[in-house]
Amino acid sequence: MAVVTRTVAEDEAGMRLDRWFKVHYPDLSFGHLQKLVRTGQVRVDGGRVKTSSRVEPGQSVRIPPLGLEEPEAAAAPAKGARSGEAGKDGARAASAETGATPSATPPAKPRASKDPAVRKLEEDRAFIKSITLFEDKDVMVLNKPFGLAVQGGSGTYRHVDGLLEALKDRDGQKPRLVHRIDKDTSGCLLIAKSRLAASVLAKSFRSREARKVYWAVVPGVPKPRQGRISTYLARDEDEEKMRVARHGEDEASHAITYYAVVDQAAQKMSWLSLKPVTGRTHQLRAHLAHIHHPILGDPKYFDIENWELPGGLQNRLHLLARRLVIPHPRGNGVIDVSAPLPQHMAQTFAVLGFDASQYDPILEAPEG
């Protein structure tokens, strides 16, 4: 692969450079990208940048040889691939029951097709429909299951971005991711169905107009019961997790999280409501580990020695993107969607006696 130059698209306005590379070159590791950026091999409009720099439409990104296979051309749209529409004038609030749903509820099987490629598109469309919490002509909100990645990467072949290929329109345009949540985090994931919607919604996230509330279960009871966590976060050297960093440290970004204890089981476990003000990688997971209350089932950040999982609980990440409130991209009110507890968290709530139906995550959440 020779040196190439790519132009930033309209719907990529404000995207971080590392995320831009992740979208276009998903197999490129962050460590490799850091080296290319640090040595000046990657440039934007001829100037040196950082991985945290944000790109704007029309800018030219210089891409040196990466040692990767060229990304394949987008597949042709499936004939008749259309998503359904719901809602009337403006966005409607869509809220799922607080009762649990399986992490990946099998959708009804579509009519069999002799062509394997067509059959796969039909199955992917049916699966997306089965996890859709809200949809209109501009946006979709999905209830992303535990264990399903949002984007592809090394060794990841099934992910939301790939499944959206099944919803391409006749012009070959597919719905676009507006933000990301971790593979093992369940809950609300916002999807834009047009370039316009993607651009407007991305600006809402950058300007912090979007209100996000997460639920988590942690060991112990944080003190104070309601508080603010403010640190700098940087990627750890092993490139697998984030660490608390010093102000001014290379690649360190400021991160702010508000939390509140909603309920507790004696002094052993707590149910927390979390409101991230910023949106850093693994922010909630790193912040809760920093205050010595790591999220239950977190394989990267749970570091309490000799801690035993209580009987009846599953060792899975107990983090739910519970509710999302964001202005509609056409100015028609707000999109207000809640996701149900995934099966493993519902089981934990039942064992610990937490009652999700008695709690409103927006009204009672800590203020940013």
Residues identified as active-site: 182
Exposure string of 133-144, with b = 16+ CB inside 10 Å and e = fewer, is bbbbebbbbbbb
Backbone angles phi, psi at 117, to 5 degrees: -65, -40
Output the six-digit token pair for 18: 């590392």
| Helix (H), strand (E), coil (C) string for the chain | CCCEEEECCHHHCCCEHHHHHHHHCCCCCHHHHHHHHHCCCCEECCEECCCCCECCCCCEEEECCCCCCCCCCCCCCCCCCCCCCCCCCCCCCEECCCCCECCCCCCCCCCCCCCHHHHHHHHHHHHHHHCEEEECCCEEEEEECCCCECCCECCECCEHHHHHHHHCCCCCCCCEECCCCCCCCEEEEEEECCHHHHHHHHHHHHCCCCEEEEEEEEECCCCCCEEEEEEEEEECCCCCCEEEECCCCCCCEEEEEEEEEEEEECCCEEEEEEEECCCCCCHHHHHHHHCCCCCCCCCCCCCCCCCCCCCCCCCCCCEEEEEEEEECCCCCCEEEEECCCEHHHHHHHHHHCCCHHHCCCCCCCCCC
Euclidean distance between CA atoms 359 and 363, whole angstroms: 9
